[in-house]
Structure 1
């Protein structure tokens, strides 16, 4: 199935996937800032973390935040 999908897409088409202004926070900011960005813009599922020289230091993903905030599985009642 991947082959069928990729045959019609060129590398040049990938520019459509690039976010013009990605969501970012500084590494010394509180996690609340990243959560606020994700809550206010529901299309944002990742926030990039920048160091003091504006280099990429990491990525905060919504699913990782959810696991941190809700550490118990609803199916088994066990901590993840």
Structure 2
């Protein structure tokens, strides 16, 4: 069974990260740097993964006033403001390590409705990320090699 380390060349090497105190505008700037990015990873002062901000969460937070109440996926803090920080809006971290199988990575992504997850080392430092397109590339590569 292939492991995350086996497709290391497919993993985006420069994952989008922000510190816990990053503003909404800083989070948005980091999110739009790479058009493939669908999540920003929140790190602490020791650069350890603390949370994840998926694109869906960020866009809901930025445009919350225009979303009908029935459709809001509430993870928001009780008080919404433009002064919110990454720590205020992040979700608990979902991640994979080099030793995880590709199947395990997919299961984590699917279960948590994420299109990408960070890859962390043993110290919980973000060393890259893995997205659904990269999983498709890994599958396609294995299918072509089987022919």
TM class by smaller structure: 0.5 to 0.7
Partner of 1:50: 43
Structure 2, gaps ≥5 residues long: 73-147
Partner of 1:62: 55
Structure 1, gaps ≥5 residues long: 1-8
Query: Once superposed, what is the RMSD of the aligned Cα atoms?
Result: 2.0
The TM-score, its normalising length taken from structure 2, stands at: 0.40
Larger Rg: 1
Q: 1:4-15 counterparts in 2 under 5 A?
A: 10-11=2-3, 13-15=6-8
The TM-score, its normalising length taken from structure 1, stands at: 0.67
The number of residue pairs the alignment matches comes to 68
2:29 to 36, 53, 66: 36
Relative contact order (alpha carbons < 8 A, sep ≥ 6): 1 or 2 greater? Answer: 2
Partner of 1:6: none
What CA distance in whole angstroms lies between the structure 1 residues aligned with 2:23 and 2:63? 18
Q: CA deviation at 1:16?
A: 4.1
